């Protein structure tokens, strides 16, 4: 067999154009179903793990899948926003008989992109989120003050960030001068890698995202003695002043101006994009679910595993389709390979005749052909496996972005 | 000694019929067979080598009764006892010069490519002044160089018989003489019996014995056989 393999190897190396073509055809045929299976398995495992680790998600009524994917992956926007008021029922139930933690999420903004680096999502939340997702600080400290943030491991790596650096939020509409201004946030901590979407996020206090939203802002103190060019109206009797557009809000929260930051409006109306609810008991879970069962409620309470199962059933259909395509491609490749081998045997009839005349057995000649096919299959399998692993490394994220 | 007795052979359409009442080849001697195309020279070599099964009569090569061997035994007999040089060289393009010489080892069921056999291959190449081309592709060689490689391949396993089927057919007269001298010297050195087929009468003088071959051929029922050759 050693000699047959040697001769087969020499033959393949000599006919390298033909060999490479067959090798690549076989590799792609093997790679496709393996990769589809591996990528979907990984995707299924990863998405199920995160869904199973998230007990309940509250948010505005609308697409169930969009809301759950938003709460889990921050990728898609929920159908509509909800408000801080929706935290109250959970807190009330928790105080009464259903112990649970409500974690607000406000995810509408991204950081400014840099050449070659897309902006990362800014997640406004409470400190409980990091505890709930078991996220730890690798360097620096937790964000405590308005305008501070901690960044996921991938964000830090890609943007070369260290504690003490700063990040700018991206304006949602660069052409609308009346829109929100970019906020310069200071990075105070870097999170350890969690190998989850949290690695690609910037976490800040939820109030900071409201500042980006324009609900809260800071500017210099105004009083009747302020430069009149900054005032639209001044009532000397009441002491009230109205600023004009010349007063610009601060775009960075510093120890010097932090006290000037304030929020306008009723806190219960401040926007949230979703709320993660972590009931401590099954009873608490049932009570919270029951609270949102009413069909005319404007808020829905979802169990992520159930919603993700719905999504996976769609993925399973895609997998079946991919399998059918793979089988068809495999069949075509096998037929073409058969044709190539057949034609190759005809072309090499003189060579085989020489071998036979020298005393080579028909079995050995068959072994030579077999060894060539074996080497091609081994090469194709190795190539396909390497390509599958390489694809797997990148595909989960790509697939997620394609699906969501 | 090779002893052929009452050998008959015909191809399917019946237009060609070889009949050899008796023919002998002495061990260690060189014989050249001449005759027109289609007179059965190559067929005789194929019958001696066991490539073709005899239809009747006997082909005895030393202790081997080739006519009575089955295909597998004839193949082993050929591999172990016969070295063949073909008119069109029949080298394997994808192997380099040394690997072509070593080819009989690679297809041999019980011989592997040892260091000694490699050295033997190299020594044969040296004897035909081809050692500098050891790693070159055979497609880059001239006709004469290719034939020299083919001769080294035929001699690698020190066969008892060397069958050369028009080995000079594609060569100019100078190269043809060089190839014949090489075949004769190499077979003489190893003590092998050389049987060569040729059309070229200028080469007959180099051989111990000359056999005109058309005497053994019957065409369309016309019997031209006149008994044993000497």
Q: Taking the CB of residue B184, how many other CB atoms lie within 10 A of it?
A: 17
Q: Which of A6, A354, A359 sits opposite B79 (nearest CB)?
A: A359
Q: Please report which residue ranges of A59-121 form alpha helices under DSSP H.
A: 64-73, 87-96
List, as one string, the DSSP characters of B114-141. -HHHHHHHHHHHHHTT-GGGTTSBGGGS
Q: Which residues of B touch A2 (CB under 8 A)?
A: 112
Note the pLDDT of residue B220: 46
Of A128-142, A202-216, B168-182, which range is least confident?
Answer: B168-182
List, as one string, the DSSP characters of A172-220. S-TT-TTSPPP-EEEEEEEEPP-SSGGGGEEEEEHHHHHHHHTSEE---
Res. B23 pLDDT band, cuts 50 70 90: confident
List, as one string, the DSSP characters of A226-283. S-GGGEEEE-TTT--EEE-TTSPPPSB--TTTGGG-EE-S-GGGSEESEEEEEESSHH
Q: Tell me the HSE value of B200 on the side-chain side, using a 13 A CA sphere.
A: 22
Tokens representing residue B174 in the block = 């100078």
Tell me how far apart the alpha carbons of residues B130 and B133 are, in angstroms, rounded to a whole number: 5
Note the pLDDT of residue A136: 94
Of A377-381, A386-390, B212-216, which range is least confident?
Answer: B212-216
Closest approach of A362 to chain B, Cα-based (Å): 9
Closest approach of A11 to chain B, Cα-based (Å): 6
Q: Which of B72, B80, B106 sits opposite A6 (nearest CB)?
A: B106
Tell me how far apart the alpha carbons of residues A34 and A395 are, in angstroms, rounded to a whole number: 13
Tell me how far apart the alpha carbons of residues A253 and A185 are, in angstroms, rounded to a whole number: 7
Note the pLDDT of residue A239: 65
Count the residues in chain A.
Answer: 404
Please, are residues A354 and B100 in contact by the beta-carbon 8 Å criterion? no
Torsion of CA A221, A226, A229, A235, to 10 degrees: 100
- Chain Cα centroid distance, residue B17: 21
Q: Which of B95, B107, B112 sits opposite A358 (nearest CB)?
A: B107
- Selected residue of B72, B92, B96, B164 to mutate for chain A interface (largest A Cβ count, 10 A): B92
Note the pLDDT of residue B224: 40
Q: Taking the CB of residue B74, how many other CB atoms lie within 10 A of it?
A: 22
Q: Which residues of B touch A355 (CB under 8 A)?
A: 103, 107
State percent of chain A over pLDDT 70. Answer: 86
Closest approach of B221 to chain A, Cα-based (Å): 30
Tell me how far apart the alpha carbons of residues A356 and A368 are, in angstroms, rounded to a whole number: 12
pLDDT tens profile A222-275: 665 666 666 666 666 666 666 666 655 667 787 877 777 778 888 888 999 999
Q: Which residues of B touch A15 (CB under 8 A)?
A: 94
Name B34's bridge partners.
Answer: B198, B212
pLDDT tens profile B91-121: 999 999 999 999 988 888 777 888 998 999 9
B52 touches chain A (CB under 8 A): no
CATH H-level superfamily of B2-223: P-loop containing nucleotide triphosphate hydrolases (3.40.50.300)
Is residue B212 pLDDT above 70, yes or no?
A: yes
Tell me how far apart the alpha carbons of residues A299 and A291 are, in angstroms, rounded to a whole number: 10
First-residue to last-residue Cα distance in chain A: 52
Structural domain boundaries of chain B? Answer: 2-223
Quick one: which H or E segment has residue A49?
Answer: helix A16-52
Name B65's bridge partners.
Answer: B60
Name A150's bridge partners.
Answer: A189, A203
Nearest alpha-carbon partner for A135 in A150, A124, A156: A150
Nearest alpha-carbon partner for A154 in A123, A204, A199, A198: A199
Mean pLDDT of all residues in B200-214 = 86
Of A19-23, A173-177, B95-99, B120-124, which range is least confident?
Answer: A173-177
Place of tokens 């009839």: A349
Closest-CA residue of chain A to B80: A359
Res. A153 pLDDT band, cuts 50 70 90: very high
Mean pLDDT of all residues in B4-20 = 79
How far CA A395 is from CA of A8, A199, B66, B135, B213, in Å, comes to 36, 17, 66, 46, 75
Q: Taking the CB of residue A156, how many other CB atoms lie within 10 A of it?
A: 24
Buried b (16+ CB within 10 A) or exposed e, A163-181: beeebebbbeeeeeeeebb
Note the pLDDT of residue B227: 36
Note the pLDDT of residue B216: 66
Please, are residues A288 and A279 in contact by the beta-carbon 8 Å criterion? yes
Mean pLDDT of all residues in A123-152 = 92
Note the pLDDT of residue A285: 87
Note the pLDDT of residue A35: 84
Rg (Cα) of chain A, in Å, rounded?
31
Q: Which residues of A touch B93 (CB under 8 A)?
A: 14, 351
B110 touches chain A (CB under 8 A): no
Note the pLDDT of residue A259: 77
* Averaged confidence pLDDT in chain A: 84
Helices A16-52/A304-347 angle, 10° precision: 170
Note the pLDDT of residue B86: 84
CB contacts under 8 A, B 22-51 vs A, are: 49, 51
Nearest alpha-carbon partner for B209 in B192, B191, B196, B225: B196
Interface contacts (A, B; CB < 8 Å): 58
Q: Tell me the HSE value of A5 on the side-chain side, using a 13 A CA sphere.
A: 6
Residue B86 DSSP class: -
List, as one string, the DSSP characters of A308-372. HHHHHHHHHHHHHHHHHHHHHHHHHHHHHHHHHHHHHHHHTHHHHHHHHHHT--HHHHHHHHHHH
Please, are residues B79 and B107 in contact by the beta-carbon 8 Å criterion? yes
pLDDT tens profile A76-87: 777 788 888 888
Note the pLDDT of residue B222: 40
Q: Which of A3, A350, A356 sits opposite B106 (nearest CB)?
A: A3
**Which is it for the CA torsion A319, A321, A324, A328, positive or negative?**
negative
Mean pLDDT of all residues in A323-335 = 85
Note the pLDDT of residue A177: 55
pTM: 0.66
Tell me how far apart the alpha carbons of residues A269 and A85 are, in angstroms, rounded to a whole number: 6
pLDDT tens profile A279-323: 988 888 888 888 887 666 788 999 999 999 988 888 788 778 888
Is residue A42 pLDDT above 70, yes or no?
A: yes
Greater model confidence, A187 or A245? A187
Place of tokens 């019946």: B14
Res. B229 pLDDT band, cuts 50 70 90: very low
Helices B143-155/B173-190 angle, 10° precision: 10
Tell me how far apart the alpha carbons of residues A292 and A280 are, in angstroms, rounded to a whole number: 18
Closest approach of B74 to chain A, Cα-based (Å): 8
- Chain Cα centroid distance, residue A87: 26
Note the pLDDT of residue A248: 59
Tokens representing residue B223 in the block = 């019997």
CB contacts under 8 A, A 69-108 vs B, are: none
Place of tokens 């008991």: A281
């Amino acid at each position: 067999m050693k000699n047959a393999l040697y001769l087969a190897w020499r033959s393949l190396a000599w006919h390298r154009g033909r060999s490479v073509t067959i090798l690549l055809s076989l590799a792609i045929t093997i790679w496709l179903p393996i990769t589809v299976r591996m990528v979907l398995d990984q995707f299924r495992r990863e998405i199920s793990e995160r869904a199973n680790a998230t007990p309940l998600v509250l948010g505005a009524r609308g697409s169930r899948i969009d809301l759950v994917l938003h709460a889990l992956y921050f990728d898609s926007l929920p159908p509509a926003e909800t408000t801080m008021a929706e935290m109250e029922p959970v807190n009330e139930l928790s105080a009464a008989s259903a112990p649970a933690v409500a974690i607000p999420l406000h995810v509408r903004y991204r950081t400014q992109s840099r050449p070659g680096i897309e902006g990362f999502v800014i997640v406004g939340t409470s400190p409980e989120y990091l505890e709930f997702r078991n996220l730890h600080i690798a360097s620096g400290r937790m964000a405590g003050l308005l305008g501070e943030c901690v960044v996921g491991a991938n964000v830090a790596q890609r943007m070369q960030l260290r504690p003490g650096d700063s990040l700018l939020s991206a304006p949602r509409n660069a052409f609308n001068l009346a829109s929100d201004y970019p906020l310069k946030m200071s990075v105070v901590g870097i999170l350890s890698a969690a190998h989850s979407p949290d690695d690609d996020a910037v976490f800040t206090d939820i109030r900071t995202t409201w500042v980006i939203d324009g609900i809260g802002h800071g500017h210099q103190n105004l009083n009747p003695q302020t430069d009149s060019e900054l005032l639209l109206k001044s009532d000397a009797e009441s002491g009230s002043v109205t600023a004009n557009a010349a007063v610009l809000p601060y775009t960075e929260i510093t120890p010097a101006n932090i006290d000037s930051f304030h929020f306008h409006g009723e806190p219960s109306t401040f926007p949230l994009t979703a709320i993660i609810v972590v009931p401590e008991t099954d009873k608490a879970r049932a009570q919270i679910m029951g609270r949102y069962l009413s069909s005319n409620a404007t808020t829905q309470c979802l169990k992520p595993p159930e919603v993700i199962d719905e999504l996976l059933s769609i993925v399973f259909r895609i997998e079946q389709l991919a399998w059918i395509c793979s089988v068809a491609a495999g069949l075509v490749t096998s037929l073409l390979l058969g044709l190539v081998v057949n034609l190759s045997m005809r072309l090499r009839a003189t060579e085989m005749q020489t071998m036979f005349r020298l005393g080579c057995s028909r079995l050995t000649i068959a072994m030579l052909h077999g060894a060539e096919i074996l080497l091609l299959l081994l090469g194709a399998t190795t190539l396909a496996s390497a390509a599958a692993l390489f694809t797997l490394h990148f595909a989960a994220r790509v697939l997620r972005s394609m699906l969501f | 000694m090779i002893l052929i007795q009452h050998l008959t052979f015909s191809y399917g359409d019946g237009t060609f019929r070889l009949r050899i009442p008796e023919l002998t080849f002495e061990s260690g001697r060189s014989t050249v067979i001449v005759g027109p195309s289609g007179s059965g020279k190559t067929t005789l070599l194929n019958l001696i080598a066991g490539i073709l099964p005899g239809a009747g009569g006997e082909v005895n090569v030393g202790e081997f009764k080739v006519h009575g061997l089955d295909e597998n035994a004839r193949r082993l007999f050929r591999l172990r006892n016969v070295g063949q040089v073909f008119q069109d060289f029949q080298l394997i393009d994808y192997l380099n010069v040394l690997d072509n010489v070593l080819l009989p080892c690679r297809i041999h069921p019980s011989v592997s490519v040892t260091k000694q056999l490699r050295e033997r291959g190299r020594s044969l190449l040296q004897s035909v002044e081809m050692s500098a081309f050891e790693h070159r592709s055979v497609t880059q060689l001239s006709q004469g160089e290719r034939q020299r490689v083919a001769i080294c391949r035929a001699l690698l396993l020190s066969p008892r018989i060397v069958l050369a089927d028009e080995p000079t057919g594609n060569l100019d007269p100078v190269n043809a003489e060089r190839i014949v001298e090489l075949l004769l010297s190499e077979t003489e050195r190893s003590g092998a019996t050389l049987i060569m087929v040729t059309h070229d009468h200028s080469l007959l003088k180099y051989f111990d014995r000359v056999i005109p071959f058309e005497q053994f051929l019957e065409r369309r029922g016309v019997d031209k056989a006149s008994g044993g050759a000497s």
